[in-house]
A = this chain, B = another copy of it.
């Protein structure tokens, strides 16, 4: 869908960049470059909105994601390494996320029964309440996607899926 231009349209940095790109390279920016720019910008916009929505719950979006994995887990606890695998982030990031969630009282660190190398993250009752409340708030706000229709959202997720597969395979 192409949006109509209005007479009060302000300067569009992306249109300007495209014009100059063509001046230099004599061709349109590639679909890959345009899509990557769009995804980066969308992430930036969404992260800002999600963090604002989660502020009342003493959460950021990355911490919300970590907390939800625990909330939805069978035992309500999980080794930090396994949590990192689910989130697809490095061990250092897990340590940092769990530090923040533990400071907020949403979870606690626990010792593993058999393997003393392993640390478990265990969601607290407060953490469960916060996870449920935050999820309700995010769903009511449609996760910050604003004007996008469900059909467009499904299309985005479906189109991106092969990229995830590609990354997981590597």
Contact = CB atoms under 8 A, between A and B. Distances in A.
Contact of A45 (B23, B144, B163): B163
A144 to B, nearest CB: 7
A30 interface: yes
Interface string A74-98: 1000000000011010000000000
Interface stretch (A107-115, A117-125, A153-161): A153-161
Interface in A115-170: 135, 138-139, 142-148, 150, 152-167
A39 B36 contact: no
Contact of A153 (B21, B35, B41, B158): B35
Interface class of chain A by DSSP: helix
Tallying the copies of this chain within the complex gives 2
A44 B88 CA distance: 9
19 contacts: A1-B162, A3-B161, A3-B165, A17-B86, A24-B71, A25-B135, A32-B143, A33-B139, A36-B50, A38-B160, A38-B161, A42-B43, A43-B43, A46-B163, A147-B163, A148-B159, A148-B162, A152-B159, A156-B159
Interface of A: 1, 3, 13, 17, 20-21, 23-25, 30-47, 50, 61, 68-69, 71-74, 85-86, 88, 135, 138-139, 142-148, 150, 152-167
